[in-house]
Structure 1
Amino acid sequence: MLDSSQLDTVSGVSTLAHAELLSGSQVSVSIKRRQSILFVTSEIADYIKAGGLGEVAAALPRALRHHYDVRILIPGYRQVLSQIKDLEEIARLPASFGIPACGLGRGTTQDGLTVYVLLCPELYDRDGSPYVDSFGADWSDNDIRFARLGLAAADIACGNGDTLWRADLLHLNDWPSGLASAYLAWRGQRIPTILTIHNLAYQGNFDRNRLPCLGIPEAAFQINGVEFYGKLSFLKAGIYYSSHITTVSSTYANEITRPEFGCGLHGLLRTRAEEGRLDGIINGIDASWDPSTDPYLVSRFSAENFRGKRANANTVRKSFGLDLSSGPLFAVVSRLVHQKGVDLAISATETIVSQGGQIAVIGQGEARFEAELRNLSSRHPGSVGVKIGYDEGDARRMYAGSDFLLMPSRFEPCGLSQMYAQRFGSLPIAHKTGGLADTIEDGVTGFLFGEPSLNRFKDAIRRGLETFRSRSRLTTMRRAAMNRPHGWDRSASRYQEVYERACQAALA
């Protein structure tokens, strides 16, 4: 047997031990331990989802687990606790400053992925989303709620959570987990941390008088720390203290180093880029997005045979109160907010309808856009259909049945809808920004326009309408879009490279 003292397991790097067998012969035995990755997230689509992060948190760890011992850490929201059937409490994490104590639960997903859950009903057992109440207002104690998440991640990385497991690397996501890398730094720990920015516009900014109750040293409230224009910023803390920063497309990684997209953090991000510590890695989509097997579709189809699209289109038309038509069907599947260019889609409606097109819209968001869309549907009965809210089946059938997806986003870190649409043979019409620029080849797998203006958007729509009238060209573009690589393999490979660099830097 090997003596445990012979094993070097610093930061989970592959280790080599030498053992003397009972025969007395000297043999080198290579012992390779998979690195342990704690993926820290405020949402995961298995249980609760507010946006694209939930989809990524469900897919990326699964793509990585063939190479790593990857586990999830998530708050114990009501929706999470009700769905993990084998959850058991394995530890108690103590209170710190104004952050309450909590239990640490351990369970598994249906396919065996280990999930750690923070058991703290006073913080997480509520109606609403992870971030807002049922009226759409931020929870007043969001700083405490997500400081608890960051502190727990740091505790687990230091071996103070699961006595049988500790993380070699933390993979943090957006502002809710941003303080984890800071807590490690303030403890003098060099455990590598990766922060992925899914949307720089959401930063987790709070009053500076919250520093004491969050356990943040006063000395950290400066430009080289957590201070952001007089506020405490969870996201800036994550960017400043993490070993490496990633974001969700290469174009967006470049954009956020410039003032127009950097949301006030462009200077720090430019510095990280110059240091070689900022990478853009495009997201993928999971294998369930397959029109030949999707159970939500009324008729399945493939890139070789599109006939099923018409049946799905007719189902969408009926569901959204649209007339039966052989004309083009446009879809909007989106949060109804300014960032997504909803106002541009509303203003372009006359152009689409006048050319015999129809529009189906599903989503929710700002009240003014919801009201405008309802009015639009009233003015164009049979041509414009709107559903406020979200339904997975409706959304999938819209991707499958539509000819075009409208995505005039003013900025889009990655975007998943354009990839869903492409996989289902719907051509995205999108602003050339962020992940849209990286995943849509203009005139081949969709249509791009160069500035978020109504005129440029209408020009792209007209190009789409011209393509619709050319059946051979439409078929060629649909096939190219459906056959574009959409999976997570390439993204997971890039994350492996980043993890390796971060671990090597921690050992230097």
Structure 2
Amino acid sequence: MLESIQLEANVAFPTVAHAELQASAQPSISVKRRQSILFVTSEIADYIKAGGLGEVSAALPRALRHHYDVRILIPGYRQVLSQIGPVEEIGRLPASFGIPACGLGRGTTQDGLTVYVLLCPELYDRDGSPYVDGFGVDWSDNDIRFARLGLAAADIACGNGDHLWRADLLHLNDWPSGLASAYLVWRGQHIPTILTIHNLAYQGNFDRSRLSHLGIPDAAFQINGVEFYGKLSFLKAGIYYSSHITTVSSTYAHEITRPEFGCGLDGLLRTCAEQGRLDGIINGIDESWDPSTDPYLVSPFSAENCRGKRANANNVRQNFGLALSNGPLFAVVSRLVHQKGVDLAISAAETIVSQGGQIAVIGQGEPRFENELQALAHRHPGSVGVKIGYDEGDARRMYAGSDFLLMPSRFEPCGLSQMYAQRFGSLPIAHRTGGLADTIEDGVNGFLFGEPSLNRFKDAIKRGLDTFRSRPRLTAMRRAAMQRPHGWDRSASRYQEVYQRACQTALA
């Protein structure tokens, strides 16, 4: 089965031909040309986001642009086109198989990043998120929508679309862009490709009957290709055909090579790891997460002077219908789904309330968890407050005002919430998994528990409550959390190393 997968030699890495072609196409000048990176994503926080991928897609290209000519490719969703400003159509990408033709637009972010936008209203001009409609149901043509993205990435990398620019390397993100590396290989264009897995649980699996519509060769529908338990998998294709794989924390990179976290792809990922093609690189958070300057906060503060936290805590209590209190304030800022351990947080609420604590919850997700949380708030008026939905200002003030962030995720590839909380002096209480294990030092800048069970979670909460009662210890932990390095510089350096290895292998 998957454990026996062996990569084909002519698939794993690109050849020198593309590099020679690019070199010959450049003018003869003494200034060394910066490498060109096409960052392919299905969401970006500047315009549209459904989760952490949107935040990473906004921050990482900006962290890399001092070293590379980085450009972003994203579908032309309604939300993108309404916010990006002027978009110049610079080319047309032809229809292929069942994938419609589209225009290629070029715009810029407010700070000057080039963004390529796929202009195809029949696929992208819709309400809803990038992946689901307003009722949370997957778009029925998601295979075509994101095959269009992957094929466009391959075209642009080859110099089609924008005839003045081509990519030295593609940086792909999650299943929506996974087919890009495969399209390049099937064309014999071995341009280096990096695939970052942000969450292995989302794989883009479709019926095998869709192969011909997507231009996938029948010969590729096998274990050494795109086949995944009888289905076509965009993520499997991206993992198999890409030059290198990264994921968003060192611990998660190890976890996904084991059956309990590998989502059926652990065998392939073990092969990647054994070949030195799998790295874990922790995400950072952007510079806007600064409690001394954040415009959403009602009172600024810093690691040296945290007095402003009280004003933010009182604001949260008022907005969430909680009583004024000198007790500990716990926050939950999360998608309300099973992965996030929301059921554990609900079950632990009685312990928190009985010890004089309060809980503020913001998020949306599975209706059963939304209903259970609202019932919990009804049972504990003044102690539990719940808002279904999401508001950026509310979330930031919750991080700033809370003493603790509850994050009992069953698995967490990286997690950003714990870093937001730490930066704002709120101590995360989290399961020791994925990026949580990599960013939280137990008893120093947060609290970790070893298995996702209610008893272990409650033990960690009790340790937090004991710390709250010791003001010197609480102050020391807050300061350690706020002073932990949270930025993108270290992560960007790691990505540079991966890019260099992939390109050097291509030239070998």
**Range class of TM-score, shorter chain:** over 0.9
Following superposition, the deviation at residue 85 of structure 1 comes to: 1.2
Alignment of structure 1 residues 96-495 onto 2, 5 Å: 96-495=96-495
1:370 Cα deviation from its structure 2 partner? 0.2
Paired with 1:195 and 1:13, the residues of 2 have a C-alpha distance of 25
- Conserved? CA contact 1:15–1:30, under 8 Å: no
Look up the SS of the partner of 1:348 in the other structure. Answer: helix
1:86 maps to which residue?
86
Change (3 A) 1:15 1:460: farther
Tell me the CA shift for residue 336 of structure 1.
0.2
- TM-score w.r.t. the length of structure 1 is 0.95
Partner letter of residue 39 of structure 1? F
The aligned amino acid for 1:426 is S
Distance in 2 of aligned mates of 1:30 and 1:76: 38
% same residue: 89
CA gap 1:492/1:432 in 2 versus in 1, 3 angstroms: same
Structure 1 stretches of 4+ with a deviation exceeding 2 A read 8-17
**Residue matched to 1:23:** none
Q: Give the partner amino acid of 1:470.
A: S
Match of 1:90, as an amino acid?
I
State the shift of 1:11 in Å: 8.0
How far off its partner does 1:235 sit?
A: 0.2
Partner deviation per Cα, 1:339-371 (whole Å, 9 max, x = no partner): 000000000000000000000000000000000
Name stretches of at least 5 consecutive residues in structure 1 with no aligned partner: 1-7, 20-28
Q: What SS does the aligned partner of 1:90 have?
A: strand
- Residues 38 and 71 in structure 1, CA contact (< 8 A), matched pair in contact too: yes
Helix, strand or coil for the counterpart of 1:296?
Answer: coil
Give the match's secondary structure for 1:428.
strand
- Could you say what secondary structure the match of 1:31 adopts? coil
Cα drift, residue 12 of structure 1: 6.7
Q: Residues 13 and 402 (structure 1 numbering): CA distance in 2 closer, same or farther, change over 3 Å?
A: farther
The C-alpha deviation readout for 1:55-108, integer Å capped at 9, x for no partner, is 000000000000000000000000000011121100010000000000000000
Contact 1:198–1:413, Cα closer than 8 Å, also in 2: yes
Does structure 2 retain, via aligned residues, the 8 Å contact 1:404–1:426?
yes
Q: Conserved in 2, the CA contact under 8 Å of 1:15 and 1:33?
A: no
In the alignment, which residue of structure 2 is the partner of 1:67? 67
Q: Is the 8 A contact 1:15 1:32 kept in 2?
A: no
Conserved? CA contact 2:19–2:168, under 8 Å: no
Query: 1:40, 1:73 within 8 Å by CA — same for their partners in 2?
Result: yes
- Per the TM alignment, residue 447 of structure 1 is displaced from its structure 2 partner at its CA by 0.1
Q: Residues 298 and 213 (structure 1 numbering): CA distance in 2 closer, same or farther, change over 3 Å?
A: same
Per-residue CA deviations over 1:202-247 (Å, capped at 9, x if unaligned) read: 0000000000000000000000000000000000000000000000
Aligned-pair CA distance for 1:31:
3.3
Q: Secondary structure at the match of 1:261?
A: helix
Cα distance, 1:331–1:13 mapped onto 2, change above 3 Å: farther
C-alpha spacing 1:353/1:255, structure 2 compared with 1 (3 Å): same
**Residues in 2 aligned to 1:14 and 1:352: alpha-carbon distance in whole angstroms:** 67
Contact 1:16 1:30 in 2 (8 A): no
Aligned partners of 1:497, 1:11: CA distance in 2, in Å?
A: 24
Are the structure 2 counterparts of residues 314 and 182 from structure 1 closer, same or farther at C-alpha, using a change threshold of 3 Å? same
* Candidates 2, 6, 10, aligned match of 2:20: 10
Tell me how far apart the structure 1 counterparts of residues 424 and 116 of structure 2 sit (CA, whole Å).
Answer: 35
Letter in 2 for 1:291: P
User: How many residue pairs are counted as aligned between the two chains?
Assistant: 491
Separation in 2, partners of 1:392, 1:150:
31
| Aligned partner of residue 44 in structure 1, secondary structure | coil
After superposition, the C-alpha distances for 1:414-464 in whole angstroms (9 at most, x for unaligned) are 000000000000000000000000000000000000000000000000000
| Residue pair 1:309, 1:400 contacting (<8 A) in 2 also | yes
CA distance 1:405–1:11, shift in 2 (3 Å): farther
| 1:9 positional shift | 5.6
Cα distance change on mapping 1:16 and 1:138 into 2, 3 Å? closer
Q: How far apart, CA to CA, are the structure 1 residues paired with 2:220 and 2:503?
A: 25
Q: 1:152-206 CA distances to partner (integer Å, 9 max, x unpaired)?
A: 0000001111011101100000000000000000001110000000000000000
Partner of 2:500: 500
SS for the counterpart of 1:315 is helix
Alpha-carbon distance between aligned partners in 1 of 2:33 and 2:496, rounded to the nearest angstrom:
15
The alpha-carbon deviation at position 112 of structure 1 amounts to 0.2
* Aligned counterparts of 1:219 and 1:326: Cα–Cα separation in 2: 66
Amino acid aligned to 1:452: P
Provide the secondary structure at the position in 2 that maps to 1:117. strand
Q: Provide the C-alpha distance between the structure 2 equivalents of 1:373 and 1:12, rounded to a whole number of angstroms.
A: 57
Which AA in structure 2 matches 1:343?
A: D
Tell me by how many angstroms 1:10 deviates. Answer: 3.4
Alpha carbons 1:45, 1:57 under 8 Å: kept: yes
C-alpha RMSD of matched pairs (Å) = 1.4
Contact kept in structure 2, 1:16 and 1:32, CA below 8 Å: no
The aligned amino acid for 2:272 is R
Corresponding residue for residue 46 of structure 1: 46
TM-score by length of 2: 0.95
Gaps of 5+ in 2: 1-17
* Matched letter for residue 477 of structure 2: M
- Residues in 2 aligned to 1:369 and 1:55: alpha-carbon distance in whole angstroms: 25
Is residue 43–residue 74 contact of structure 2 (8 Å, CA) maintained in 1? yes
Distance in 2 between residues matched to 1:404 and 1:233, nearest whole Å: 39
CA contact (8 A) 1:39 1:73 kept: yes
| Contact 1:11/1:168 (8 A) holds in 2 | no
2:12 is aligned to none
2:109 and 2:274 map into 1 onto residues whose CA distance is 39
